[in-house]
Amino acid sequence: MAEAQQTNRPIASYRDFWPYYLQEHAKPETRAIHYAGTALSTLSVVAAIATGRLWFVPLALVSGYGPAWFSHFFVEHNRPATFTYPLWSLVSDYRMAWTWMTGRLGRELERAGVSKR
């Protein structure tokens, strides 16, 4: 597996961020926990819109970020990218889930230098 990008300079473009993001999500367990959190968060937002009950909004934040951060600290053992790149990380959570659901994630991981486990 290629090493995760280590730099003291900020990542300047989303094009450069995406491979970094995938490297930071190298373990399948981390990705699986992210998928669950992303799904729960999305369902909470949909529920907030459908019912008008705003208590679903904080639930969306907790159900999205909680599992993701847990997976970084206890599975992947790295710092969540969302601490430095919150918007790109949010977009990438959905992009990673979508590419997984459409069967294209393996190719993306390979391009980012993430080995199969």
Contacts of 70 (CB under 8 A, 6+ apart): 33
Asked if the structure places residue 9 within a domain, the reply is: no
Tokens, residue 67: 């599992």
pTM above 0.85, yes or no: yes
Asked if the structure places residue 2 within a domain, the reply is: no
Asked if the structure places residue 22 within a domain, the reply is: yes
Q: What is the pLDDT of residues 53-90, one digit of tens each?
A: 999 999 999 999 999 999 999 999 999 999 999 999 99
Nearest CA to 23 out of 97, 93, 91, 115 is that of 115
Nearest CA to 75 out of 38, 37, 30 is that of 30
Mean of pLDDT values over 10-38: 97
Task: Say what the pLDDT of residue 4 is.
Answer: 45
Domain count, the chain: 1
Asked if the structure places residue 5 within a domain, the reply is: no
Alpha-carbon torsion angle 83, 6, 105, 67, nearest 10: -30
Say how far apart CA 82 and CA 60 lie, in whole Å.
Answer: 16
Domain of residue 81: give its range: 14-111
Asked if the structure places residue 21 within a domain, the reply is: yes
Asked if the structure places residue 100 within a domain, the reply is: yes
Q: What is the pLDDT of residues 30-50, one digit of tens each?
A: 999 999 999 999 999 999 999
Asked if the structure places residue 1 within a domain, the reply is: no
Asked if the structure places residue 88 within a domain, the reply is: yes
8 confidence band (pLDDT: 50, 70, 90): low
User: Angle 86-101/14-23 helices, nearest 10 degrees?
Assistant: 70
Say how far apart CA 58 and CA 115 lie, in whole Å.
Answer: 36
